[in-house]
Chain A
Amino acid sequence: MSAKETKKISIIEKSLKLFSKKGFYNTTIPDIAKAMKMSVGNMYNYFPSKEELAKCAIKYSTNVLAQDLREVNNMDISSKEKIYEFTRKYFKRVKKTPEIIEYFLRVYLSNREVFNQGCEGFLCVGEFVTEVMILLDEGAAKKEFRDQDFFAAFGMFMGSLGGFAFLSGEKVLEKDLLDYSDLIAENIYRALKYEE
């Protein structure tokens, strides 16, 4: 990876923290430049606008999740075990780098106008959605999951995980996040599982 690419990634990682903490509009390029110990002018050498940075940030953060799920999809285990495995990975990710999930929940979903040019639909989150499709398709093909509408299944899967990450972010959970992992995975599995 070139030095410029490496620098771009460190800017994105810093921005994710600032955006997810302060929100998109309350975070300025000077804020990010200051956190990066860079000049504002130099920042524009890497990203032409805050909107472009925001779009790169959503691609980056969902690609991290896509990579996690791809590793699980490639495991030689049942689809049920894959749900358990990914739920664990997801919650560990929430604990380790909460900004990745928070950014999705608090910036991407709440500021759609920022993303409606160049990040429409699945354009910037496609890699992750594809991995969810692979998980669901394989589960249904093996008759571990029942056949149902894709978005109903997708919403169940990601809604549960995202919603729980939100509760964790609000600090309202009584126990450690990972203590809930298998319970949530079981709920997701029961909603998807094949029934005669």
Chain B
Amino acid sequence: MRNKPKVVWIQALTCNGNTQSLLSSNASRFEQFLNQFELVYHPSLTHHTTLNDVLQSNASYDFLLIEGALTSNTQFLTLSDQSSTAIVEKLIKRSHYVIAVGSCASYGGVHAKFEHNDDVVGVQSVVGKKSACKSGHDTINLTGCPVHPEWILQTLYTLKAKGNIALDDEQRPIELYSHLAHHGCTRNEYFEWKVESKSFGLKEGCLFYEQGCRGPMTHSSCNKILWNDTSSKTRVGMPCIGCTETDFPRENMLETKKNIGIPAEVPLGISKRAYLSLTGIAKTFKIERLIGKLIDENR
């Protein structure tokens, strides 16, 4: 690959959240990215090239990054007098790699729930799992709402260095999505002993049972690669809402569905019978250290 691979970023049906996320990446990493890649086109970030320039050119691009869901229905979205699907179909043939950035681009996301347009889909549905891009590499899904900026950069750097990246069954990079959001969660001890958080925003307690946290069943490295190098949703008291999974956005995202007080879903990889046995035993113990405030200034 050339020293400065060319990157084209297309936006379709999107709230711009993944762009916001990219702009919130570690400053030195973003600078490094701009130095080592040529950002040919991004609707919000570049000014010397328009989408028409990109479409009318015969140039090849190394990375086609797509943010947002696609639709072939021009009544709902038109870019340069074309549908987003038509644009992607044209550009894919001139691109080496196709990367769906965010959950909307990967699976249609919240837009796919729009019942008046049943033609809202993710990139993979348009270009295929085995992408027709120049490298022949599978379409890469960087799921998340939004996707973590470092995941975008790591994927680009890996492809730049190695030419391919290992993907899981959902076409997500294994290196980034083999962990669960539960891994690295600072509330794990509360989870073990079934001490629940009383409300959002607290540092104490687990958010699984009462607040709908999906950490134990969501493939994501949010708690391993921290946001802004500092934090994550669960660290500040916001439940994981499973935004990297294919069923996102689910209904009642801040609730744990229960049947007669028993969670309908249990953490990945454990049978419900085994989980309930462990839970019953864990609840037996009252660990004083986990019941009070972590920092009690009045003590």
Taking a contact as CB atoms closer than 8 A, the residue among A120, A126, A127, A150 that contacts B260 in the complex is A150
Q: Which residues of A contact B272 (CB under 8 A)?
A: 134, 137
Q: Which residues of A contact B281 (CB under 8 A)?
A: 121-123, 126
Contact between A121 and B283, CB atoms less than 8 A apart: yes
| Bound-complex Cα distance A139 to B283 (A) | 23
The answer to the question of B276 belonging to the interface, with a C-beta cut-off of 8 Å to chain A, is yes
Q: Which residues of B contact A136 (CB under 8 A)?
A: 259-260, 262
The answer to the question of A100 belonging to the interface, with a C-beta cut-off of 8 Å to chain B, is no
- The total of chain B residues at the interface (CB under 8 A) is 15
Taking a contact as CB atoms closer than 8 A, the residue among B261, B264, B280 that contacts A149 in the complex is B261
Contact between A134 and B260, CB atoms less than 8 A apart: no
The answer to the question of A111 belonging to the interface, with a C-beta cut-off of 8 Å to chain B, is no
Tell me which residues from 228 to 287 in chain B have a Cβ below 8 Å from any Cβ of chain A. Answer: 258-262, 264, 272-273, 276-277, 280-281, 283-285
| Bound-complex Cα distance A131 to B280 (A) | 11
Shortest CB–CB separation between residue A146 and chain B, in angstroms? 8
| Bound-complex Cα distance A120 to B285 (A) | 8
Q: Which residues of A contact B273 (CB under 8 A)?
A: 130-131, 134
| Bound-complex Cα distance A138 to B276 (A) | 13
Chain B residue nearest to A134 (CB atoms) is: B273
Contact between B259 and A134, CB atoms less than 8 A apart: no
Q: Which residues of B contact A131 (CB under 8 A)?
A: 273
Interface band, chain A: 20 to 34
Shortest CB–CB separation between residue B195 and chain A, in angstroms? 14
Shortest CB–CB separation between residue A130 and chain B, in angstroms? 5
| Bound-complex Cα distance A153 to B277 (A) | 18
Taking a contact as CB atoms closer than 8 A, the residue among B259, B277, B280 that contacts A137 in the complex is B259
| Bound-complex Cα distance A99 to B264 (A) | 36
| Main DSSP-derived SS at the A contact region | helix
The answer to the question of A167 belonging to the interface, with a C-beta cut-off of 8 Å to chain B, is no
The answer to the question of A140 belonging to the interface, with a C-beta cut-off of 8 Å to chain B, is yes
Chain A residue nearest to B277 (CB atoms) is: A130
**Contact bitstring A122-159, B, C-beta under 8 A = 1, else 0:** 11001101110110111111000101111101000000
Taking a contact as CB atoms closer than 8 A, the residue among B260, B264, B280, B285 that contacts A145 in the complex is B260
Contact between B260 and A121, CB atoms less than 8 A apart: no
Shortest CB–CB separation between residue B122 and chain A, in angstroms? 30
Contact between A147 and B284, CB atoms less than 8 A apart: no
Q: Which residues of B contact A134 (CB under 8 A)?
A: 272-273, 276
Shortest CB–CB separation between residue A135 and chain B, in angstroms? 10
Contact between A153 and B260, CB atoms less than 8 A apart: yes
| Bound-complex Cα distance A148 to B262 (A) | 10
Contact between B280 and A130, CB atoms less than 8 A apart: yes
Q: Which residues of A contact B261 (CB under 8 A)?
A: 149-151
Contact between A120 and B280, CB atoms less than 8 A apart: no
| Bound-complex Cα distance A140 to B264 (A) | 10
Binding site for A on B (CB under 8 A): 258-262, 264, 272-273, 276-277, 280-281, 283-285
Binding site for B on A (CB under 8 A): 120-123, 126-127, 129-131, 133-134, 136-141, 145, 147-151, 153
Supply 9 further A-B pairs (C-beta < 8 A) apart from A121-B280, A137-B260. Answer: A123-B281, A123-B284, A136-B259, A136-B260, A137-B259, A140-B259, A140-B260, A145-B259, A150-B261
A to B CB contacts below 8 Å, 14 in the list? A120-B284, A122-B281, A122-B284, A126-B281, A130-B273, A131-B273, A134-B273, A134-B276, A137-B260, A137-B262, A137-B276, A139-B260, A140-B259, A145-B259
